[in-house]
Chains A and B, each alone.
Chain A
């Protein structure tokens, strides 16, 4: 787990709890965990910075690489891309809070493998590759072709899962790319698909 010592926005939650325990006692600190206040204190905020910052799990180079991969998976069409809605930031935050170190390492190793592969094959860093070559490389990862093994394919599926989840649960993904009904007002068992024209973005369970 990566801990940034200086930025208050990415402080370690564990240290936060430990600190609180010291001040107000262990029981009170852990009871705070169930409250809303704590959730907000550690909540993930979408970053609008042009500058790619270090994440909670990934360093700034890895974040830049993930941003590009997010954009390649879900590019801009008439709606924004996954990178436009900061799915890379989301994925890093989600990794930190909801996955363990083994999973963190899977993503880091995969990003390293993709970077090395680009260097070896094209003698150009992945981010500087032409888009068609970036796609070819990612396709090779997904199909476990050439230098990529089934384990890389499976790690890529995990990465993709995070990006896709981040996109379609974002406001843009759920309401612009898909059709969203916060309060449907009732259930209709039959409506023509052509009338709605796209899938529902409002699902009961995510």
Chain B
């Protein structure tokens, strides 16, 4: 029997909308609990290994040496090209902007990066994986921005461990109050200048640590990883092309094979969800209405429970477009907060410089992670001039021909200079928290639709003065840290890029204890519709400082566990 379905009248136990990091986990967990599960994917099928068409290509084998043709960008990738991971070897994993229009409110900008295929952004993510702490879950309550998270660290701790063990997270034990340790595979090494900088920073600043970045890579796979068909990380750092070794966590490498192995999974690809089907009488969702991605015909799928894992903006767009007599402003939107409190991280500051010496030091391999300075502003302090905090990430590396591409010089002397590794460069770059604010929102455009007949999103999202003050501080503090480490020629920067490109968009269907001011309860269950769950980034009440994906995973497996118990108890 085929894994893939198109039309079917089967009533599934669970429908999971989306196949990225969140959807993959939801499907795996449901399937392993014996639930007949239908995974809905709006785009095409991408098969592990076979469809990684950009992998294993040397630059000289690429017609434009990894650059992308102007005409193609103009026609299809005007927005997607802004993503750092966009190149000739990865472009097929990015959405076609021409077919995926959205609007931004006049005077605002938001870059919406799309990955509409099986595996979604799990193929393209940066793989940094950090637990949140109670400092993060408490933050809204302490300063009054946003609503209080309905959960605390203790609610998620065991679920973090559950996903970490399966996914494989590399990192070092640090015992930090603001950044709880994960279940780790061995950490990647720091290079010698990084060790030097770490020692200097930690000696000078009591409140600061520099650690190796925690990432979802099999630095040293365990037996159960090998049994999944995954192998050790080869340090190519070309992950976004897809990894046939399965060395980084993706739907294809990790959760999908586990779900498929149960025999309980079906996948409906090329199925663009138009809306959820709500039954007024039972006050439950019966299923979903989809438009075929290719031939634009409509079909429906049915299940006892629906999990929306369609990405932060994707899930909320579906809810907003699911209107009924009971829910004229979008399904589950009695509170009126659906679409509001959109957030992203802020990458707009940092410092770089050069480290003298270490001339006979080098490294081998391309490490797929960097170094990380955990948030040192995790306890509120009014004298700081801004609320919340930021982490810093970076690395030490030797400059190469690329950095000298336009340097002065000609002939043999120039060629010999470019042949050799240059000075050691080191940088620290901020990843700042963004406050939850009601006015940052998405809504359905009143008239414009996409080719599937779904109203386009209108995005209205801007950083506030708090974020700008925070970036100013990050620029100054990162420079101070480089200075104490003896870094030379320090250059700090504050930039003004709009939200979106961190690709950490969260919020718009937030959790909360109070149904009057939130869409979901503490188990990601819709307050108003008991058999509907939303477990992706849209459920977030704040951004914290950490990268969000590991928390998507933990929230999802916890929600599935809860939903299964509720279903068995016939409460939903």
Chain A: residues with CB nearer than 8 A to chain B?
Answer: 13-14, 17, 30, 33-34, 36, 39-40, 42-44, 72-75, 77, 90, 93-94, 97-100, 135, 138-139, 142-143, 157-158, 160-161, 164-166, 168-171, 174, 177-178, 180-196, 198-200, 202-206
Contact B408 A187 (CB under 8 A): no
Contact residues in A for B96 (Cβ distance below 8 Å): 34
User: Is B453 on the interface with A (CB-CB < 8 A)?
Assistant: no
Contact residues in A for B237 (Cβ distance below 8 Å): 204
Contact A34 B359 (CB under 8 A): no
Contact A189 B190 (CB under 8 A): yes
The one of B72, B233, B363, B420 that contacts A188, using a Cβ cutoff of 8 Å? B363
* A197, B403: Cα distance in complex, Å: 19
Q: How far is the CB of A29 from chain B (nearest CB, A)?
A: 10
Contact B410 A190 (CB under 8 A): no
Contact residues in B for A194 (Cβ distance below 8 Å): 360
The one of A39, A97, A186, A202 that contacts B70, using a Cβ cutoff of 8 Å? A97
* A18, B263: Cα distance in complex, Å: 47
Contact A43 B63 (CB under 8 A): yes
In the A-B complex, the 5 residue pairs with the closest CB atoms: A189-B189, A184-B365, A43-B63, A187-B365, A204-B237
Contact residues in B for A192 (Cβ distance below 8 Å): 360-362
* A17, B75: Cα distance in complex, Å: 12
The one of B56, B58, B63, B420 that contacts A174, using a Cβ cutoff of 8 Å? B58
* A206, B194: Cα distance in complex, Å: 24
The one of B58, B66, B363, B401 that contacts A187, using a Cβ cutoff of 8 Å? B363
Contact B410 A138 (CB under 8 A): yes
Contact residues in A for B281 (Cβ distance below 8 Å): none
23 A-B residue pairings within 8 Å (CB atoms)? A39-B63, A73-B414, A75-B415, A93-B64, A98-B67, A99-B70, A158-B406, A161-B405, A164-B405, A171-B60, A174-B59, A180-B58, A183-B236, A185-B234, A186-B232, A188-B363, A189-B188, A192-B360, A192-B361, A192-B362, A199-B398, A204-B238, A204-B366
Among residues of B, the one whose C-beta sits closest to the C-beta of A99 is B70
User: Is B364 on the interface with A (CB-CB < 8 A)?
Assistant: yes
Question: When each residue 363-399 of chain B gets 1 if its CB lies under 8 Å from chain A and 0 otherwise, what string results?
Answer: 1111100000000000000000000000000000010
The one of B53, B88, B410 that contacts A73, using a Cβ cutoff of 8 Å? B410
Contact B414 A206 (CB under 8 A): no
Contact A72 B69 (CB under 8 A): no
* A100, B76: Cα distance in complex, Å: 17
Q: How far is the CB of A102 from chain B (nearest CB, A)?
A: 12
Q: How far is the CB of B490 from chain A (nearest CB, A)?
A: 24
B interface bracket (residues with beta carbon within 8 Å of A): 35 or more
Contact A13 B363 (CB under 8 A): no
The one of B63, B87, B415, B420 that contacts A199, using a Cβ cutoff of 8 Å? B420
Q: How far is the CB of A195 from chain B (nearest CB, A)?
A: 8
Q: How far is the CB of B479 from chain A (nearest CB, A)?
A: 25
The one of B65, B190, B233, B365 that contacts A169, using a Cβ cutoff of 8 Å? B65
Contact residues in A for B87 (Cβ distance below 8 Å): 205-206
The one of A36, A186, A198 that contacts B235, using a Cβ cutoff of 8 Å? A186
Question: When each residue 437-473 of chain B gets 1 if its CB lies under 8 Å from chain A and 0 otherwise, what string results?
Answer: 0000000000000000000000000000000000000
Tell me the B225-246 residues at the A interface (CB within 8 Å).
232-238
User: Is B325 on the interface with A (CB-CB < 8 A)?
Assistant: no
* A165, B237: Cα distance in complex, Å: 20
* A203, B406: Cα distance in complex, Å: 18
* A34, B401: Cα distance in complex, Å: 31
Q: How far is the CB of B425 from chain A (nearest CB, A)?
A: 13
* A99, B63: Cα distance in complex, Å: 15
Contact A190 B405 (CB under 8 A): no
* A21, B365: Cα distance in complex, Å: 45
Q: How far is the CB of A66 from chain B (nearest CB, A)?
A: 15
User: Is B419 on the interface with A (CB-CB < 8 A)?
Assistant: yes
7 additional contacts (CB under 8 A) given A97-B63, A183-B236, A186-B365: A33-B75, A138-B410, A142-B410, A182-B58, A184-B236, A187-B233, A198-B420
* A203, B88: Cα distance in complex, Å: 15
Asked if A196 meets B233 with Cβ closer than 8 Å, knowing A74-B414, A187-B367, the reply is no
Contact residues in B for A14 (Cβ distance below 8 Å): 71
User: Is B527 on the interface with A (CB-CB < 8 A)?
Assistant: no
* A158, B59: Cα distance in complex, Å: 20
Name the residue among B70, B191, B192, B402 with the largest chain A CB count within 10 angstroms. Answer: B402
Contact B362 A77 (CB under 8 A): no
Contact A193 B410 (CB under 8 A): no
User: Is B92 on the interface with A (CB-CB < 8 A)?
Assistant: yes
Contact B410 A189 (CB under 8 A): no
